[in-house]
Amino acid sequence: MSRLCQLAPWAALFIVVASPVYAAEAPQGLSGEAELGAVATSGNTNTRSVNTKARLRYVSGRWRHEGHAAVLRASDGGKVTAERYVLSGKSDYDLSPHNYLFATLRYEKDRFSGYDDQVSEAVGYGRRLVDRPTLTLDLELGLGGRHSQQTGGRRRDVGIVRSAGKLGWNISATARFTQGLVVESGSDNSSTESVSALKVKINGNFALKTSLTVTNNSSVPPGIQHTDTITAVTLVYDF
């Protein structure tokens, strides 16, 4: 998979696109969050850096949308050591209180991943298996495609099966744990991304979040590791 990189604050850019959240997790209308904090990476890069993130949500009736985009860039002694661009979006439509359809799109360009760019899209069905006041669990299954351009190689277009899950646990009135997992399996590669996060409210609109992101690719170009990790501690502003 791509090398995870150090983020220069002045180079961070976050753009919003569409993708879903549940009414139980976000109010009707527009909301979002912005993060600033420290990041440690291991795997293809071993750095410590500043990390900034942003996310925007929009909930309207049966539609739920969430968008995220980021630019990550690092330099060492004037030399660029990491450069990564990610843009993703997802939208769902409720068929019933616990069943929905979804569509998702993701673009990634990582200078140090061995790929010039990678794009994946999928549509499918999702179901909320657990729906309690303090605990939720959503599972998804869909079909789509992945388009990748390996550095110095030819472009490949393959079909994929996308499976995903998201767990949300309100530990207390001020603490929430989330676990997300996405697996995209194709004939050329199976990619997995796991994101674990604990968010604790400080006061007002501010919270502290710790997170661990693990990405893995079953097939990578020579010289690239299969697994990358990001450990982050961030200050979150909810709006």
For the cut 70, the answer to whether the pLDDT of residue 88 exceeds it is: yes
Give the whole-number percent of the chain exceeding pLDDT 90.
49
Q: Which of 4, 239, 235 is nearest to 113 (CA)?
A: 4
pLDDT at position 5, please? 41
pLDDT at position 47, please? 67
Cα Rg of the chain, angstroms: 18
Q: Could you give the CA distance from residue 224 to residue 135 in angstroms, rounded to a whole number?
A: 38
Three-state helix/strand/coil letters over the chain: CCCCCCCCHHHCCCCCCCCCCCCCCCCCEEEEEEEEEEEEEECCCCEEEEEEEEEEEEEECCEEEEEEEEEEEEEECCEEEEEEEEEEEEEEEEEECCEEEEEEEEEEEECCCCEEEEEEEEEEEEEEEEECCCEEEEEEEEEEEEEEEECCCCEEEEEEEEEEEEEEEECCCCEEEEEEEEEEEECCCEEEEEEEEEEEEEECCEEEEEEEEEEEECCCCCCCCCEEEEEEEEEEEEC
Q: Could you give the CA distance from residue 41 to residue 2 in angstroms, rounded to a whole number?
A: 12
**pLDDT (tens digit per residue) in 70-80:** 777 777 666 77
pLDDT at position 73, please? 72
Q: What's the CATH superfamily of 9-238? A: monomeric porin ompg (2.40.160.40)
pLDDT at position 227, please? 86
pLDDT at position 9, please? 33
pLDDT at position 77, please? 61
User: What's the pTM?
Assistant: 0.80
Q: Which residue has the higher pLDDT, 117 or 64?
A: 64
Q: Could you give the CA distance from residue 193 to residue 71 in angstroms, rounded to a whole number?
A: 18
Segment 198-226 shows an average pLDDT of: 89
pLDDT at position 134, please? 96
How many other β-carbons are positioned within 10 Å of the β-carbon of residue 218? Answer: 13
Segment 102-117 shows an average pLDDT of: 84
pLDDT at position 21, please? 35
Q: 203 CB contacts (<8 Å, ≥6 apart)?
A: none
Candidate ranges 40-44, 107-111, 179-183; pick with highest mean pLDDT: 179-183
Mean pLDDT of the chain: 82
Q: Which of 87, 66, 44, 239 is nearest to 166 (CA)?
A: 66
**pLDDT (tens digit per residue) in 14-65:** 323 333 333 345 578 999 999 887 766 677 766 667 778 889 899 999 999 9
